[in-house]
Structure formats: C-alpha cells, structure tokens
Amino acid sequence: MLEVRELRKEFQPLSGQPVVALGSVSFRVESGQFVSIVGPSGCGKSTLLQCIAGLSRPSAGRVLLHGREVTGPPEGLILLFQEYNKSLMAWRSVLRNVRFGLENRAGMSRVEMDAEARRYIELVGLKGFEAHYPWELSGGMQQRVAIARALVRRPEVMLMDEPFGSLDALTRIELEDALLRLWESLRATILFVTHDIEEAVYLSDRAYVLSCRPAQVIEEIEVKLERPRNQLTTREDPRFIQARRHIFELISKEMAKG
C-alpha cells in the first residue's frame, strides 16, 4: 500500500557538484506491517523519510500511498522525529500536545478531542501526567507523548525517524516493547528507520538494508520471528542472531566501501 519507486534525491550545495543522497530507492510496505530501514549513518535515511512524508520533493521517482502519488504531506501519514524535545510544543501541556494531533481535523468537539487524547495518554502509559509540560518529563516520557500525539490521529502509516536514537539503553528497550504493543493493538503500518541492527530485527517483519550514499536498497530481509517478541528469548533465537549477523555483514561491507 505504501510504495516507493526509484526515488532519487539530489541536493545542490552552494558550490560544486550536486550531492546525490538517494540514488534509486525502491521498496514496498504492506498494510499492517512493521518494516525497518537500516543503513550506515549518513546514508540518507532521513531524507528518504522526508520524501515519503511529502515534506521534501524527490528529484525523480515516486511515492505512492494506496496507489496515489504523494506530493505534499498526505492525510493518514505521520512522521515522528528523533528529537522529541524539538517536535513537542513546549508551551502546551501533555494533554494539549496530544490533542494537537486531532485539532487540525473537522468534525470533533474539544470535549471529544480531549477524551480521545486522554485515552491515548493512558495507552502510552502517561496517565497522571496530562497537565505536565513536556520539559518537565524525562526523554523517554517525552517520546511517549510524541507517539501518543501521532497515534491519536489513527494514522494508517507511521514513519519513525530513529525515534529511540537519543534514549538510554534501558528506556529504549522499554519503548521498543511499548511500541510493539501499541502497534499490535492499533494495527497501524510502521516504517521505522534506525541504524541499530538489533533494534531493526527485533521490531520488524521485514527490513530493508540501504547502501552508502547514494543510497539504494541492497537487500530485503524477511524476519520470521514469532510475535509477541520478547527481549530475552527473541534476542537469543538462532534466527534473530542469524539475521543480525547477515545485516551486520552487509553494512560492514558497505562502510568499508566508504
């Protein structure tokens, strides 16, 4: 349902040759799937997401959502950033931040929006923090607010740009599991960008490995691990270890190429 076809993105620096961030990227994401994109840092993963989210126009190629070309931010698709401290509105309480996810839509009264926002705040485990400001919360909690704000809109597709990249290891584990639970209960489609190979394998049904700049998909990996996943048993599963090893080798080879 989300299809990326031969996407290319060039940037023209102030002087010199254009930089090709995305060479020719193609892949598909089926409805309800959890798909990861893994690649060496600086390979253009964020650029890719911005193009899919309609925030940046590709130089060539197309992004299709339900067969319709994406030319601007599409309804039903939300991009969630790593920098929760910048993406949340510091002047709004947690409740009003989450409500923001619904405000720009017709047909809901403020009371209904607040009720819905409260429900999602509870879902992400922040009940009791509705009146707090984001900057009063820890990093992990702030990212939970951002996730609630995105999910309250019931997006069909949620793009996540290294959402847990700046969190400490334990908080990260906690949020990975929280995200999986939410995804399973809400049946959204998630496209998750990360440079953490284990994270990609642990979370996904499928992972696409990107090459160095100019990025293109070098391999598609099906992750055949049962759900619900478990931080201990899943990560000890031989198939997990094998998938991790395979992706690691691919990326090391890429990085060696420079």
Phi, psi of 21, deg, nearest 5: -80, -50
- Range in contact with another protein (rule: CB under 8 A) among 31-39, 87-95, 173-181, 228-236: 87-95
Does 90 participate in binding another protein (rule CB under 8 A)?
Answer: yes
CB 101 to another protein: min, Å = 6
Does 115 participate in binding another protein (rule CB under 8 A)?
Answer: no
CB 78 to another protein: min, Å = 5
Helix (H) or strand (E) segment spanning residue 19? strand 19-29
Does 81 participate in binding another protein (rule CB under 8 A)?
Answer: yes
Does 48 participate in binding another protein (rule CB under 8 A)?
Answer: no
CB 111 to another protein: min, Å = 19
Residue 162 CA to chain centroid, in angstroms? 6
CB 79 to another protein: min, Å = 4
Q: How far apart are CA 47 and CA 125, in angstroms?
A: 31
Q: Tell which one of 15, 17, 104, 109 touches another protein (CB under 8 A).
A: 104
Q: How far apart are CA 152 and CA 116, in angstroms?
A: 7
How many angstroms separate the Cα of 37 from the Cα of each of 100, 153, 159, 189? 28, 24, 11, 14
Nearer to another protein by Cβ, of 158 and 247: the residue is 158
CB 49 to another protein: min, Å = 10
Nearer to another protein by Cβ, of 37 and 70: the residue is 70
Size of the site for another protein (CB under 8 A): 25
Judge whether 213 and 11 are in contact, CB under 8 Å: no
- Range in contact with another protein (rule: CB under 8 A) among 30-38, 69-77, 181-189, 195-203: 69-77
Site string for another protein, 119-148 (x = CB under 8 A): --------------x-xx------------
Phi, psi of 24, deg, nearest 5: -155, 100
- What residue type is assigned to position 60 of the chain? A
Residues in contact with 107: Cβ distance below 8 Å, sequence separation at least 6, in sequence order:
none
Does 154 participate in binding another protein (rule CB under 8 A)?
Answer: no
What residue spans of the chain are helical by DSSP H?
45-52, 84-87, 94-103, 110-123, 139-151, 169-186, 197-203, 233-236, 238-257
Q: How far apart are CA 1 and CA 187, in angstroms?
A: 14
Judge whether 254 and 211 are in contact, CB under 8 Å: yes
Q: Tell which one of 53, 65, 207, 215 touches another protein (CB under 8 A).
A: 53
CB 107 to another protein: min, Å = 14
Does 66 participate in binding another protein (rule CB under 8 A)?
Answer: no
Q: How far apart are CA 159 and CA 207, in angstroms?
A: 14
What residue ranges bind another protein (CB under 8 A)?
A: 50, 53, 55, 73, 75, 77-79, 81, 83, 86-87, 89-92, 100-101, 103-105, 133, 135-136, 153
